[in-house]
Amino acid sequence: MDEPMESPLVFPCDFPLKIIGKNEDDFETFVVDLVKEYVPYLQPEDITRKESAGGKYISITFNFMAIDRQQVDKIYIAMSAHKERILFAL
């Protein structure tokens, strides 16, 4: 059995998370609600948005204090269940 990979991050730490998807009416609300399930202390000032030059895509960036690796892993696992909506996350 493989051992879990050790994280280069030292928790708690500031964690920037960028999620990119199609610029549809409810995409921003969708991803904010998704992230807030795991980061309930997220504040409006922790969230920024940027549309692509043509307006077809949008990136939503969350800057928050990540408590531990499990929290971050849960967010990425939740996002992977929505591959049809979330095109890219980093």
* pLDDT tens per residue across span 60-87: 999 999 999 999 999 999 999 999 999 9
Residue 56 lies in a domain: yes
**Residue 9 — pLDDT band, cuts 50, 70, 90?**
confident
Please report the pLDDT score of residue 5 as a whole number: 62
CA pair distance 79, 42, nearest whole angstrom: 17
Domain span at residue 78?
Answer: 13-60+68-89
* DSSP classification of residue 66: E
Structural domain total, the chain = 1
Residue 8 lies in a domain: no
Burial of residue 86 (number of CB atoms within 10 Å: 0-12, 13-18, 19+):
buried
Mean of the per-residue pLDDT values of the chain: 93
- Output the domain CATH number for residue 19: 3.30.70
* pTM for the predicted model, two decimal places: 0.88
Which residue type is seen at 58? I
Residue 23 lies in a domain: yes
CA pair distance 66, 71, nearest whole angstrom: 7
